[in-house]
Chain A
Amino acid sequence: MFMYKVGVIGDKDTVLAFKALGLGTFAAVSPEEAKKTLRALVREKYAVIFITEQIASQMEDMIEEYQNEILPAIILIPNNQGSLGTGMQKIRESVERAIGVDIIFEREGEEN
């Protein structure tokens, strides 16, 4: 069976932490750079690509593009400055998309 790889795209510090685990790490400073890296990773059979929320928020359109494909799975992770909540937001979006109303998170919304 074909082996797929796991990649991480993010700022230098965040990415460095993952390097020790043996993931393919790619530091990106600008959104353009990150986009280029993402395209290259998809071509090179990376099945799971973790992207930090900070960078992902600047390349929404491209991430959306891959959302309907089976692979790659693009997953947002917080970077070393903490979470922006974009990852959660994404889950909420897919709930709204599927059901029409957000029934999973609404209870929390009331608390906030």
Chain B
Amino acid sequence: MEIRVNPTRMELSKLKKRVKVARRGHKLLKDKQDELIKKFIDLVKQNKELRQEIEKELSEAFRNFVMARAAMSGQVLEESLMYPVGKVDIKVAEKNVMSVRIPQIDIVGDEEAGGEETNKYAYGFAGTSGELDNAISILADILPRLLKLAEIEKGCQLMAVEIEKTRRRVNALEYVMIPTMSDKIKYITMKLDENERGNITRLMKVKDMMMQEGV
């Protein structure tokens, strides 16, 4: 590879400073990456477990729901679900994990809106089947965890992106920036040393010539 630098002392001291900064940056980034990966693995494990759990329960709820659909006429079913008991609103805060911004999702208490424990069914029991109650009950149960899953899974995605970015930077510093700068430093030092030696031999030669002339 061609090295294009001026072999001067100025350049040398500049490069030395830059290499020092790069080494420090590399170390910091590496630490960040390690910590991120540690947190990420924890989060992903949680994510996996929660998802398995939820998928299982969700299919249970859907099974009940399909039964309810079969047992009731579509019109009645739609009618009974038309007016939900409450509205689900969420609050989103941001959490900072190793400079990755991760959303934190909270359900806003909806109790005052009429969604009390006793009344999660928005319909009368007369025209509806028991399976529907089951399905709704399971779903209402899952909902908080579903939102938790959303929070964790989103966190995982964002962290994955950040880890990828950090890894690129670490690698760029480790395998490109620092080696090229070290090469440049070596090149300049050698060039300067060579100049120095050239200078000394020239001086010696001149001294010899002067001695000869003087005698």
Q: Which residues of A are at the interface with B, using a C-beta cutoff of 8 A?
A: 1, 3-6, 13-14, 16-23, 47-48, 50, 67-68, 70-71, 73, 75, 77-80, 82-83, 87-88, 90-91, 94-95, 97-99, 103-105
Residue B143, interface by CB 8 Å: yes
Chain A binder among B12-20, B61-69, B190-198, B206-214: B61-69
Residue B181, interface by CB 8 Å: no
Q: Is the CB of A21 within 8 A of B161?
A: no
A107 to chain B, nearest CB (A): 11
Residue B4, interface by CB 8 Å: no
* Contacts between chains A and B (CB distance < 8 A), count: 148
> Which residue of A4, A73, A78, A104 contacts B154 across the interface (Cβ within 8 Å)?
A73
Contact with A along B130-164 (1 / 0, CB 8 A): 00000110011001001101110110111111011
Q: Is the CB of B89 within 8 A of A17?
A: no
> Which residue of B45, B122, B159, B161 contacts A104 across the interface (Cβ within 8 Å)?
B45
Number of interface residues of B (CB under 8 A): 62
13 more CB-based (< 8 A) A-B contacts, given A17-B135, A70-B103, A98-B164: A13-B69, A19-B81, A20-B121, A20-B136, A21-B143, A22-B115, A47-B92, A48-B90, A71-B103, A73-B154, A77-B54, A91-B156, A99-B163
Which residue in chain A gives the minimum CB-CB distance to B54? A77
* CB contact under 8 A between A70 and B101, given known A22-B86, A87-B51, A91-B48: yes
Contact with A along B50-89 (1 / 0, CB 8 A): 0110110011011101100100000001100110111111
Which residue in chain B gives the minimum CB-CB distance to A3? B89
Q: Is the CB of B136 within 8 A of A21?
A: yes
Q: Is the CB of A6 within 8 A of B147?
A: yes
Q: Is the CB of A104 within 8 A of B160?
A: no
A18 to chain B, nearest CB (A): 7
B105 to chain A, nearest CB (A): 7
* CB contact under 8 A between A97 and B160, given known A14-B62, A77-B58, A78-B58: yes
Q: Is the CB of B92 within 8 A of A4?
A: yes
Complex Cα spacing A3 to B140, Å:
20
Complex Cα spacing A16 to B84, Å:
11
Q: Is the CB of A21 within 8 A of B84?
A: yes
Complex Cα spacing A12 to B115, Å:
24
Neighbouring A residues of B86 by C-beta, 8 Å? 22
Complex Cα spacing A104 to B41, Å:
8
Residue B40, interface by CB 8 Å: yes
